[in-house]
Amino acid sequence: MTLEHMIAFNAVLIVSILSPGAAFLMAVRSTVSNGRRAGIATGLGLGLMASLWTLCALLGMDAVFAYFPWAFATLKIGGAAYLIYLAVATWRGAKQPVTAGTKPHGRAFMDGFLVNLGNPKSVLFAAAVLVVVFPPNLSGPEIGLVWLNHLILEILFYTGCAFVLSASAARARYLRAKPHLDRIAALLLGGLGLKLLLQR
């Protein structure tokens, strides 16, 4: 494994993180609704699980899913159900006022962790990227380095987002538009859940 391999992996990973999806929506809502610390905690959960999917891909979890399709189906259905649950809860709470700091940080972390746990397609995506980017038969330390690199990049991104979005001006704009933004987020989360459920 060379520096060029890591640069290529990070470039693909950054594009993936920046793509709008359930993880980014969860991080934004957590930060503007519950403050910077909750946003960082959510990002830690999101980043940890995303990096664990990469670790699973490096260790051959995609092959396990190929041999045991029921395991993939179980994770996919559970993940889709959780996203749809979040969508319904977000829609119902769209008009409710926000009380700062109401979500415990442990709960914020678990929300982030579960959102990315519920997306087993991440391991298949990671496996496809890893096959293209890295040479075969990485050593144990190299696998650990790729996993740690992924984790650090995710944490830096979501922590940066939490600092930007927790600024008073950004939070004030969010609160003014909260009913509309929450309903848009609910539709996106629900759509992602249905897409995950229906895709093969």
* Segment 11-45, tens digit of pLDDT: 888 877 777 677 888 888 888 878 889 999 999 99
Stated pTM of the model: 0.76
Chain CA centroid to CA 180, Å = 23
For the residues 84-109, what does the mean pLDDT come to?
77
Angle between helices 69-92 and 168-198 (to 10 degrees): 140
> Is the separation of the CB atoms in 103 and 34 below 8 Å?
yes
Within a 10 A sphere around the Cβ of 199, how many other Cβ atoms?
9
Within a 10 A sphere around the Cβ of 126, how many other Cβ atoms?
27
Which residue type occupies 182? D
In 35-54, which positions are buried (b, 16+ CB within 10 angstroms) versus exposed (e)? bbbbbbbbbbbbbbbbbbbb
pLDDT tier, 195 (very low <50, low <70, confident <90, very high otherwise) = confident
Count CA atoms closer than 13 A to 142's CA, side-chain side: 14
Question: Distance of CA 177 to CAs 42, 95, 189, Å?
Answer: 22, 10, 18
* Segment 129-172, tens digit of pLDDT: 776 788 878 888 999 999 999 999 999 999 999 998 888 887 77
Which residue type occupies 134? F
Tell whether the torsion through CA atoms of 130, 131, 135 and 141 is positive or negative.
positive
Predicted pLDDT of residue 62:
66
Residue among 27, 15, 49 nearest 162 (CA): 27
| CA angle at 149 for the pair 144 and 154, rounded to the nearest 5° | 130
Average pLDDT, rounded, for the chain: 81
d(CA 185, CA 188): 5
What 8-state DSSP symbol labels residue 137?
S
Predicted pLDDT of residue 192:
73
Angle between helices 36-58 and 105-117 (to 10 degrees): 30
> Is the separation of the CB atoms in 120 and 72 below 8 Å?
yes
Q: Where are the beta strands (DSSP E) in 56-178?
A: none
